[in-house]
Amino acid sequence: MAKQRQGVWPIPEFNALVSRYFPSPVDGTSRVFYEYGGVSDRGRVNPHNEDHFAVIHRTRSQHAVLSNLPEGDLGLHSDEAYLLIVADGVGGNAFGELASRLAIRTLWEVASQAAHWIMRVSDIDLDDIRERVDAHVEVLQRFFRERALSQPATAQMGTTWTSAYVMGQDAIIAHIGDSRAYLCRNGRLRRVTRDHTLAQMLIETGLQAEKADRFQHVLVNCFGAHASETKAEVRCVHLDDGDSLLLCTDGLTRHLDDAQIEQHLCSPKTPQAICESLVGAAVEDGGTDNVTAVVVRINVPASEAAVDF
């Protein structure tokens, strides 16, 4: 069993994700580099960590075994993509922990069996991406319903889901619940996702945020056997050189506001160090919930600048 170190609690099967650089070809000459970090902590109150996270690397490559053609004539290339996921389980006791763990495992099993993987945004349009995500969501919802029928004790379990599928300089963000995605560019923070909570709905109808805050914990969209309609928000984000993308559970955003997140995420520290400082700050502020942060930073040598937001 992995040894606990202060501020970082090991998670079974998704343990010890450390910062690394992964090269990804964009064209025949340039390469994109990604650096990752991930940390999860049970906090100071909860006896269990119901958060799970994963960073998954997928490749598609071509290799000439034999040929008398001049080198380069075949135009062989390799495509790489990276999937980042955070899931925050609900359901109490050990069931929230089980829900987030099974959600990541089940959806990855379904996705890995797909006949065609998206490796470039040009491979498919956004409507087709949404259809694929909707199909995966329905599979997981069916899984939770069937699990509740066979094991009634698990009927109340559920989970949020926020993921980023990164290809070259593009990321597809799929989001359900109140875990979040943030983008830092040129020292400025941008929130990419919208909370699927009753509080957010009330704020959008005009209620003051202070009055709506007591409904912040009420999810109106999540995975679970009793969810009436689960719908993922899907959007594409173009990444520029130096951008950092953060996925986090609400245990982080309960304790750190956007200005504090910006201070950490937009720092020059490594993604792993950023995750550790973000999670550490949330725990130090009270740690009233499990806290998880996953960060990816992109490096594009000689890239064209993206349109600023």
Residue 103 φ then ψ, to 5°: -65, -45
C-beta separation of 11 from 1 below 8 A:
no
Out of 20-29, 212-221, 242-251, which region has the weakest mean confidence (pLDDT)? 20-29
Give the Cα separation of 48 and 69 in Å (integer).
Answer: 59
DSSP-based three-state secondary structure for 234: strand
Task: Determine whether 47 is exposed, middle or buried from the number of CB atoms within 10 Å of its CB (0-12, 13-18, 19+).
Answer: exposed
| pLDDT tens for each residue of 11-56 | 333 333 333 344 444 333 347 899 999 999 999 998 889 999 999 9
Structure confidence at residue 212 (pLDDT): 82
70 or 172, which is more confident?
172
Structure confidence at residue 1 (pLDDT): 33
Q: Which domains does the chain have, with CATH numbers?
A: 21-63+72-274+281-299 (3.60.40.10)
Question: Model-level pTM?
Answer: 0.83
Mean pLDDT value of segment 217-246 = 88
Taking alpha carbons only, the member of 36, 178, 162, 185 closest to residue 107 is 162
* 234 to 1, 162, 193: CA distances (angstroms): 37, 10, 9
Structure confidence at residue 29 (pLDDT): 34
Structure confidence at residue 119 (pLDDT): 52
Structure confidence at residue 121 (pLDDT): 59
| pLDDT tens for each residue of 178-201 | 999 999 999 999 999 999 989 888
- Note the Cα 144 to chain centre separation in Å: 20
- Which tokens in the block code for residue 123? 């491979």
pLDDT at 277 over 70: yes
119 or 27, which is more confident?
119
Give the Cα separation of 79 and 205 in Å (integer).
Answer: 44
Structure confidence at residue 75 (pLDDT): 72
Q: Is the Cα dihedral 85, 13, 254, 245 positive or negative?
A: negative
Average pLDDT of the residues of the chain: 82
